[in-house]
Structure 1
Amino acid sequence: MKIYIDGWFLAPPLRGIGNYIKNILLNLNDLDKKIKVEILIPSDNYKFEGCPDHISFKTLSSKNIFFWYNFIIPNFLNKKENSVIYFPSGTSPLFTKLKSKTFSTIHDVSYFQSPFVVPFSYKPRRLLGRIYLMLSFFYLVKNSSVIFTVSNFAKYDILKIVNFFHFRKPNIEVIYNTSTVDIKNIRFKKEKIILCVSGSSAQKNSKLFLKTFREKIVDNLENWTIYLVGLDSNYSEILSCGAKLVVKKYLPSKDLSILYQKAYLFLFPSFYESFGIPLIEALKSNCFVLASNRGATKEICRENAIYFSPVDSNDFSKKILKIVKLYPQKPLINFENFILQNSWKRNAKKILQIIFQNFYL
C-alpha cells in the first residue's frame, strides 16, 4: 500500500496549512513496513529535513496551482495501482475521477459564508481562489472515503453545506489541531507585550485591531509593545496611547515561540475560524487570551479565554484595558483541557489508522 500526500502548500516560508501538513508528516513514525508514504511536491525547494525514513519526496515540476491539481496530479496518480491520495489542504482536482482512493482534510467552509459573516476581498485572484475552494469542496465531498476536519464547529458547517445541496452525507472525522509548544519548556518571563498572530485577509479582522489601538485606546500604555504578525508589510509606529506598535509580515517559528512566551496578552479578533492554532500556542505559553466570540473559539479555549464581539471596537478596547491592568498577575488556565493535552503524534497516528481501516472497505 502506498500513500501519496499532496504537498503543494509546503511552499516556504510555511504558514497555516503548510505547517499543518509538515507537523503531520514529521510525526508519521509508527508506520507498518508495508506502507510507504510519498509527498508529491512541485519543486525541490519544498523539501524539508526531519521526516521518518519511510517518507520520501517526489517532485512533479509545476509552477501553476490549477495545472498541478487538474493535470499533474491526476496524470501521475492514474498510472498507479493500489494507492491512496490524501489532500490535506481542502484543495483538489475538479474534473478527474482518480483511481487512487481519496482522503482529505477540509479545514473550514469560510468560502461559502456570506460577506456579513466573513468579509472577503473582491480582488480577482482572491475571488477566483474562493470559487476554486467551493468547487474543491464539492469534489472532495463526492469522492473522499473520509473527510478529516479540525473541530465540531467545522464539521457542523460542512454538514450544513452538504444538506443544503442535498449531497450524500460524507464520513467526517474530527481530529483537533494542536501545537508544537511544550508547556514544560516555557523559560521566558512575561513582559509588557500584546501579541496578535493574524493575516491580511478580511476574515482575520486586523482592521479592528488597528482601529482599536489607534483610535479607541487613549489610556497610557507607555512601555507596552504591541506585535501584529502576518500582514503584508513590516513597519513600526508609536501610538497615541504611548505603546509601540510593531507589524511583521512573517516571523520564523523559533522567534514567534519566544514572543508567545514573553507576551502577557494574546488577541484573536478573527470573524471566523474553524480552529485557530495560535489560540493553543498562546494558552500553552501561559498568555491571557482575548478572543472573538465567533467561530470555534469557545469550543477550543472554553473557560480559558475572555471573549468579545469582533464588530465592536468599544467592547474590544475595554477588555484589553481590563486585562492589561492585571499585569503581572498570571492567568488561570485549565491545562487539563483535552485540546491542550493533544499532540501532532497522536493526530498523525489517528489519521493513518483511519486511512488504513478505510482503504479496504
Structure 2
Amino acid sequence: MKIAFDAKRFFHNASGLGNYSRDLVRILAHYFPENEYVLLNKNKSERGESILENSNVHFIETSKGRMSRQFKMGIDAQKEKADIFHGLSGELPLKWEKTPIKKVVTIHDLIFVRYPQYYSFFDRQIHLWKFKRATQIADKIIAISEQTKKDIIHYLKVPETKIEVIYQGCHKAFKEQQSEEFTQQTKQKFNLPEKFILNVGTIEDRKNLLNIVKAIKGTDIPLVVIGKKTKYYQKVAGFISKNTMEKQVHFLEGVSMDELAVIYKLADIFVYPSFFEGFGIPVIEALFSKTVVITSNRSCLPEAGGKDSVYINPDDYHDIRSKIQFLWDNEAERKRRADKGFEFVQKFNDETIANELMNFYQKIL
C-alpha cells in the first residue's frame, strides 16, 4: 500500500497539528514497514527528520505553481500512484485527475464554529468553507474524538456512516523514562520548585489559565506554566502582579520535548481547565507520565481523562481550588488516581492507534 500525506503541518507546525502529523507517520512506518509513505509539501524542515530516515518514508516536493497545495498536491499524489491520500488537518486538495485514489481527511475540532469569539470573521469563513469542502471530497473522515464526530455531524451535516473515530496518541518522550541525570539537569535549568502543579498549552482565553491562578491565590501551591503566550497572557500577568503572586507562578520558555516530559513526571498534579478541546493531548501526556489530572467536565476531556481523573467546572475557580487542595493534601489519592490513569491511557498507545489506522485504510480500498 502507498499512502500520500499533505505534509504541510508535519514540517511546519511545532505542536498540535504538527505533532499529530509526525506521530501518525512515525507509528505507521514503524508498525507497518511493508507500506510506502509519501510526504508531499513545497519544502521540508528539520522537523520530522528522524522519521524521514525510515527507508519507507519519502519527501516529494509539490509541483510548482500558485496555490499548489490546493491545485497540484492531489494530482502529484496520483502521479506517484498512491492508493490513498490523507489530509491530516481538515483540508483536501481541490483538484484531482480521474486516476483512482481514495481520499481521507482528519478533522480535529470545530472550535471556530462553537466559539466564534476566538476567531476573526474572515478566518471563520475560510475554515468553514475548507472543512465543508474536504468532507464532501473525502471518501472517509477521521474524527479524533467522539465529541468531534458529533460536531461534524451537527455543524457540517455529514452522515455518521462517513466518519470514524480514531484517537491520537502523543510523542514517544512521554512514554520513555529519562535518566536521573537529565531529570536533575532539567530541575536545575528551570529552577523548578520541589512540589508544584503544572499547566501546559497555549496561553489563551479558551485554555482558562486565569482560573487556575485565581484558584491558588492565597495558598502556598506553586504553579508552573508552559505554553506560547498570546494577548491573553497580559490579563493573567495583570492578575498575578496585582496579587503579588510572581514568586508563586512560574512561566517557562525554551522547553524541549524531553525536558517537557521530565517536567510532567516531576509535577504533583496536572491542571487543565480548558473550556473546549477537540481532544486534549496534554491530558494524555500527563497520564502517560503517571501524573494525576484535574480537567474540565465538558467537551472531549472526559474521553481523554478516563474515570480516575478529577473533573471540575471550568467556570468555577472555587471548584478548581477545592479539587487542587484535595489532591495536594493527599499523596495516596494522587498515586492511586495516577496509577489508574496510567492503566487507562494504554488505549492511546502507538501500536493500538497504528492498528486502528491500518484497519481503516484497508477497509476503504
TM-score, normalised relative to structure 1: 0.81
Report the Cα distance in structure 2 between the residues aligned to 1:97 and 1:43, rounded to whole angstroms. Answer: 21
Please, which moves more after superposition, 261-270 or 330-339? 330-339
Shift of 1:38: 0.7
Please, which moves more after superposition, 250-259 or 237-246? 237-246
Change (3 A) 1:265 1:186: farther
Change (3 A) 1:53 1:82: closer
Report the Cα distance in structure 2 between the residues aligned to 1:247 and 1:63, rounded to whole angstroms. Answer: 43
Structure 2 partner of 1:21? 21
Report the Cα distance in structure 2 between the residues aligned to 1:13 and 1:320, rounded to whole angstroms. Answer: 33
1:171 maps to 2:162: yes
Matches within 5 A, 1:188-207: 191-207=194-210
Per-residue displacement from partner, 1:289-325 (whole Å, max 9, x unpaired)?
A: 1101121111221222211122222322333233333
Structure 2 partner of 1:41? 41
* Paired residues of 1:218 and 1:241 also in contact (CA < 8 A): no
- The answer for unaligned runs of 5 or more in structure 1 is none
* Paired residues of 2:223 and 2:248 also in contact (CA < 8 A): yes
Task: Specify the code of the residue in structure 1 equivalent to 2:249.
Answer: L
Structure 1 partner of 2:363? 357
User: What secondary structure does 1:332 align onto?
Assistant: helix
Report the Cα distance in structure 1 between the residues aligned to 2:119 and 2:129, rounded to whole angstroms. Answer: 18
Shift of 1:197: 0.8
Shift of 1:194: 1.5
Report the Cα distance in structure 2 between the residues aligned to 1:40 and 1:157, rounded to whole angstroms. Answer: 29
* Paired residues of 2:139 and 2:162 also in contact (CA < 8 A): yes
1:130 maps to 2:127: no
Structure 2 partner of 1:54? 56
Report the Cα distance in structure 1 between the residues aligned to 2:207 and 2:223, rounded to whole angstroms. Answer: 21
Structure 2 partner of 1:227? 225
| 2:317 aligned residue (299, 309, 313) | 313
* Paired residues of 1:42 and 1:63 also in contact (CA < 8 A): no
1:342 maps to 2:348: yes
User: What secondary structure does 2:164 align onto?
Assistant: strand
TM-score, normalised relative to structure 2: 0.80
1:96 maps to 2:100: no
Structure 2 partner of 1:299? 303
**CA RMSD, 1 decimal:** 3.3
Identity %: 21
Matches within 5 A, 1:61-72: 67-72=67-72
Per-residue displacement from partner, 1:84-139 (whole Å, max 9, x unpaired)?
A: 2101111233x435653211111122122144xxx4144xxxx4333332122212
1:140 maps to 2:134: yes
Change (3 A) 1:63 1:325: farther
Report the Cα distance in structure 2 between the residues aligned to 1:318 and 1:197, rounded to whole angstroms. Answer: 20
* Paired residues of 2:145 and 2:166 also in contact (CA < 8 A): yes
Shift of 1:231: 2.3
| 1:279 aligned residue (266, 273, 283) | 283
Report the Cα distance in structure 2 between the residues aligned to 1:308 and 1:132, rounded to whole angstroms. Answer: 34
* Paired residues of 1:10 and 1:21 also in contact (CA < 8 A): yes
Shift of 1:356: 2.7
Q: Matched residue pairs, number?
A: 340
* Paired residues of 1:102 and 1:145 also in contact (CA < 8 A): yes
Report the Cα distance in structure 2 between the residues aligned to 1:178 and 1:22, rounded to whole angstroms. Answer: 11
* Paired residues of 2:312 and 2:320 also in contact (CA < 8 A): yes
Structure 1 partner of 2:190? none
Report the Cα distance in structure 2 between the residues aligned to 1:305 and 1:154, rounded to whole angstroms. Answer: 21
The structure in which a higher percent of residues are helix is 2
- The answer for unaligned runs of 5 or more in structure 2 is 185-192
Change (3 A) 1:343 1:329: closer
